[in-house]
Amino acid sequence: MVVDQNFHRVRKIFIYIVLFLISINISFAENLNFKKIVDLNDPWGSTFINKNNLLITEKSGKIKLINLNSKKISEINHNLNYLEHGQGGLLDILFKDSFVYISYSENRGNGKTSTSIAKAKFNEKKLTFNNIFQANPPINSGYHFGSRLAIKDNFLFASAGERGEGMIAQDPTKHPGSIIRINIDGSIPKDNPKFEGKSDWLPEIYQIGIRNPQGLTLSPFDEKIYLSNHGAKGGDWFGEAKKSENYGWKILGWGGTNYSGIPIGPKWKPGFTKAIHYWVPSIATSAITIYKGKEFSEWNGHALITSLKDQSLRKLIFNDLSNVKEDIIFRNKIGRIRDIQVDPNDGKFSFLLFQIPLELKFHHLEACLVFQFHR
């Protein structure tokens, strides 16, 4: 493991992180009650092991198992060769059928990193990971790793950011800026685009033209993969992952501009995948999920969208694509929301990681929060 020393010289204070429990009544926007549960440091991804236990990654390099009843925190050792640099570190984590999958910024040497994916048999003491994917080429950048994971049947989907390289997302001979689809053992599906008319594409690539996708989920209703993507200055979106298609970055600007204010390109034009919903100005979309549960049965099939910049939790009703409806559940209540998990047992609990809205020379202090929806 290597940690970028310049990164730590920039952040010259100890980050104190707290896991809270929030109860929210049916009015959503008001009456939030906080109860401290545990302390964490730079949390990024989370996944249920069972009803009472949650695995969480800390971007700074630790994997922790949290018992939500006893509040016990156990650190799990691992063998990942990661580099914490800018937005990179340990990223998403996913538990499925006794295995743990993780995305992370892998140290590839000479300051270069890649969005990589590894797999391990679950063990409460140590996770011995083996890489099953590397986004090539490795790049010397601390920007836009993505990355989220989702499993559909025996396929693992992953989002790989374009590392701040813009038009690399239009180059299907390179992984950055794409949606990845591999088998859960790391092998290549025989029906991926490369084998069905896209012979110049790398075999792992499912879709291209993505910028920085930090949300990815499988809908339990229509069995489709959905994602969220950070635009530049404006142009965030929520859409469907579509095989062999192209979301257009950086030919399209999705309604946003460069940070300098210089235009990028049109919001959309024929020949490119059209997103289901856009946000201009940007809300900095992060993790997403398609709600399924008993607690809010009227939400079933709706997308829950988390936001960093806008600090909101939003709900999209998108069964009619010609009339997508958006509700803001709350905003500016808990800080920058990083991740969301809905309790698979009853849909009653949603687990969120969030960032305290405090900046120290462009690095955000992060905190972990658990909140509960109930009637």
pLDDT of residue 41: 81
Q: Which residue in 81, 27, 34, 132 sits closest to 372, CA to CA?
A: 34
Residue 21: the pLDDT is: 41
pLDDT surpassing 90 at residue 104: yes
Give the percent of the chain with pLDDT over 70: 82
**Lowest model confidence (mean pLDDT) among 262-271, 276-285, 289-298, 318-327:** 289-298
Mean pLDDT of the chain: 86
Say what the pLDDT of residue 295 is.
78
Q: Assign 351 a pLDDT band (cuts: 50, 70, 90).
A: low
Residue 9 has pLDDT above 60, yes or no: no
Expressed in angstroms, the distance from the first to the final Cα of the chain is: 45
Q: Which amino acid type is present at position 362?
A: F
Q: SS3 sequence, 282-340? A: CCCEEEEEECCCCCCHHHCCCEEEEECCCCEEEEEECCCCCCCEEEEEEECCCCEEEEE
* Averaged pLDDT for residues 217-228: 98
Query: pLDDT confidence of 352, banded at 50, 70, 90?
Result: low
Residue 52 pLDDT level (bands cut at 50, 70, 90) = confident
Q: Mean pLDDT throughout 340-365?
A: 56
Tally of domains in the chain: 1
Q: Given pLDDT bands bounded at 50, 70 and 90, which one contains residue 333?
A: confident
What is residue 296's predicted lDDT score, i.e. its pLDDT?
A: 81
Given a contact cutoff of 8 angstroms between Cβ atoms, the answer to whether 75 and 58 are in contact is no
Tell me the average pLDDT across 124-141: 98
Q: Is the pLDDT of residue 312 over 60?
A: yes
Q: What is the CATH classification number for the domain harbouring 324?
A: 2.120.10.30
pLDDT of residue 344: 78
**pLDDT tens-digit map of 133-146:** 999 999 999 999 99
The whole-number pLDDT of residue 375 equals 47
Question: Quick one: pLDDT at residue 71?
Answer: 86
Task: Summarize the confidence of residues 358-374 as an average pLDDT.
Answer: 42
pTM: 0.89
Phi, psi (degrees; rounded to nearest 5) at 211: -95, -75
Is there a contact between 17 and 30 (Cβ–Cβ < 8 Å)?
Answer: no
Q: How far apart are CA 114 and CA 213, in angstroms?
A: 15
What does the pLDDT average to over 158-181? 98
Matching residue, tokens 């109930």: 374
Q: What percent of the chain stands above pLDDT 90?
A: 69
Write the pLDDT tens digit of every residue in 53-91.
999 999 999 999 998 888 899 999 999 999 999 999 999
Q: 116 lies in which domain range?
A: 2-373
DSSP-derived secondary structure letter, 30? S
Name the token pair of 214: 């930090």
Query: In this predicted model, which residue has the larger pLDDT, 276 or 311?
Result: 276
pLDDT at position 69 is 83
Cα→Cα distances 313→109, 145, 180, 334, 338, Å: 38, 23, 27, 10, 10
pLDDT of the residue at 350: 59
Residue type for position 7: F
Structure-block tokens of residue 81: 């060769």
37 has a pLDDT exceeding 50: yes
Contact 325, 310 (CB under 8 A): no
- CA 208 to chain centroid, in Å, comes to 17
pLDDT tens digits, residue range 295-310?
Answer: 788 999 999 999 988 8
What is the mean predicted confidence (pLDDT) over 245-252?
Answer: 98
| Mean pLDDT within 346-354 | 62
The pLDDT-based confidence of 288 (bands split at 50, 70, 90) is very high
Q: Which of 180, 282, 288 is nearest to 230 (CA)?
A: 282
One-letter-per-residue 3-state SS of 187-242: CCCCCCHHHCCCCCCCCCEEEECCCEEEEEEECCCCCCEEEEEECEEECEEEEECC
* φ and ψ of 260, to 5 deg: -75, -15
Task: Report the SS3 class of residue 7.
Answer: helix
pLDDT at residue 175, as a whole number: 98
